[in-house]
Amino acid sequence: MNKRSGEETRRKILTVALQIFTEQGYDSATMRTIAQAAGISVGGLYLYFRNKSDLYLTILKEWLDTIQGTTLAALSRAPNPSEELTAYIATTIDFTKQNRQMLLLMGNELGCARGMALKRQYFRARRELLADIVRRGSAAQLFRKCDPDETARLIFNVLRGFIMSLLIDEEGLFGAETCIDLILNGLARRNEG
């Protein structure tokens, strides 16, 4: 097997596994079912992934790394904390809308403790990124004085609520612009007087 066909097979396995994990949930999905759907032998599947947990974590980690990389790239183009916060929210909402299937996967892996640990680590990193934006926005007097960590948790959970609404309604409860406007208006520094 050449390197190119090996990578194509790996990609196919990941695509098929995402579909099966989404439809059946982590606990019900089997390596045999995934191998059959990918058109390879079970032994062939084990050449690419040690076990079901390894396969699931590979899918999850790739997705989390992609959204984080997309967010950081958007933040690097923003000239100030207000624009960074706008980019963070818009990127999170837009990326999630485009990858709705991952929402289903992230809610379906109760049997994979390492997946939960990976998500906790990811959520913590996302909140820390938000807290840093809020901290810098307050220091630049763009945002009102507030507890950056608490504010980051609030913003993060508003976004999580929106993201979870995508499971029910593909459009979500509101658009990125509405969310951005609400949060930025709440953080905006007011003239005292």
120 alpha carbon, distance to own chain's centre = 11
The residue type of 193 is: G
Which CATH architecture fits 1-49? Answer: Orthogonal Bundle (1.10)
The single residue listed with the structure tokens 């183009």 is 77
**How confident is the model at residue 72, as a pLDDT?**
97
pLDDT digit string (tens) for 93-106? 888 888 877 777 77
Spell out the long-range contacts of 50-55 with Cβ–Cβ below 8 A and sequence spacing 24 or more: 52/26, 53/112, 53/114, 53/115, 55/13, 55/14, 55/17, 55/31
57-187 matches 1-49 in CATH topology: no
Tokens of 139: 């220091």
pLDDT digit string (tens) for 40-75? 999 999 999 999 999 999 998 999 999 999 999 999
Q: Work out the average pLDDT over 116-128.
A: 91
- pTM of the predicted protein model: 0.83
**How confident is the model at residue 180, as a pLDDT?**
84
Instruction: For residue 64, count other CB atoms closer than 10 A to its CB.
Output: 19
By the 8 A CB rule, do 166 and 94 touch? no
d(CA 161, CA 163): 5
Q: Where are the domains of the chain?
A: 1-49, 57-187
pLDDT digit string (tens) for 6-45? 899 999 999 999 999 888 888 899 999 999 999 999 999 9
Residue 182's pLDDT band (cuts 50, 70, 90): confident
Which CATH architecture fits 57-187? Answer: Orthogonal Bundle (1.10)
Alpha helix stretches (DSSP H) within the chain: 3-24, 31-38, 42-48, 52-76, 81-98, 100-106, 113-139, 148-165, 176-187
Residue 110's pLDDT band (cuts 50, 70, 90): low
**How confident is the model at residue 125, as a pLDDT?**
96
- Tell whether the model's pLDDT for residue 85 goes beyond 70: yes
**Summary mean pLDDT of the chain:** 88
The single residue listed with the structure tokens 């658009």 is 175
**How confident is the model at residue 73, as a pLDDT?**
97
What is the phi/psi pair of residue 188, to 5°? -55, 135
Instruction: For residue 150, count other CB atoms closer than 10 A to its CB.
Output: 11
